[in-house]
Amino acid sequence: MGEKKKKIIKSIKIDVEKCNGCRACEVICSAFHATPKYSSNNPGRSRIRVIREPLRDVYLPVYAGEYAPAECMGRDKYVIDGKEYDECGFCRASCPSRDIFKEPDSGLPLKCDMCEDDPAQEKPLCVQWCINDALIYEEREEEVEEEVKLEDVEIGLESMIDKYGLEKVMDTVSRMSASKKG
Ligand code: SF4
Ligand code: SF4
């Protein structure tokens, strides 16, 4: 058992009624995650995407969550306040069946990092840029077990293995470590 530690849990609540599809959240997120920072704004790099269907008045902001190596079976429809939504529309996964939440150059999965930086943003940038208050930032304190977080490293590795094959990834890693030693 690890040590108990207090941790701030950050979350963003979405009020779809207030979103008008302006996409300011996508612009700032992709600019912040460009290399160098703020050098470009390709929505493909954004960790938040807005599903827009103006004719049906559907604007649905969705955050990039966990990576999924396989396509799921979910094809249900949801009707909320008279508007029909595809199940995929709510899904936060970077998955093989669609193009969102994949880094445009490498194809690696993207995940919202709540704008972790050094120092961290006082409020996530998408929340700050949403002038319609559709994104609401919340913090709460929780006691958690302290642990080494390898999750993100594993997700990146797993998706590279899916894309290039285990042998190729292992070969590259061993060449990289050999060149670091030498
Ligand atoms: S900035 Fe706000 S209103 Fe504009 S698309 Fe994003 S969530 Fe919707
Ligand atoms: S919280 Fe930060 S990283 Fe996450 S979607 Fe918003 S701007 Fe992007």
Give residue 169 CA to ligand 1 midpoint distance, Å. 38
Mean pLDDT of the chain: 89
Answer whether 124 contacts ligand 2 (Cβ < 6 A): yes
The pLDDT assigned to 121 comes to 86
Q: Band of the pLDDT at 174, cuts 50, 70, 90? A: confident
- Of 97, 14, 96, the residue nearest 49 (C-alpha): 14
Q: Which amino acid residue places its CA nearest to atom 6 of ligand 2?
A: 126
Stronger pLDDT, 174 or 115, i.e. the higher one: 115
Average pLDDT over every residue of 35-50: 94
For 3, 110, 132, the CA distances from 39, given in Å and listed in that order, are 41, 18, 26
Answer whether 115 contacts ligand 2 (Cβ < 6 A): yes
The pLDDT assigned to 18 comes to 97
Give residue 126 CA to ligand 2 midpoint distance, Å. 6
For 13, 166, 173, the CA distances from 136, given in Å and listed in that order, are 5, 41, 41
Average pLDDT over every residue of 146-170: 78
The pLDDT assigned to 149 comes to 62
The pLDDT assigned to 180 comes to 62
Q: Is the pLDDT of residue 3 over 80?
A: no
The pLDDT assigned to 36 comes to 93
Answer whether 125 contacts ligand 2 (Cβ < 6 A): yes
Give residue 144 CA to ligand 1 midpoint distance, Å. 32
Give residue 16 CA to ligand 1 midpoint distance, Å. 9
For 3, 32, 47, 150, the CA distances from 40, given in Å and listed in that order, are 42, 9, 15, 29
Q: Whole-prediction pTM value?
A: 0.79
Stronger pLDDT, 72 or 150, i.e. the higher one: 72
The answer to whether the CB of 100 falls within 8 A of the CB of 94 is yes
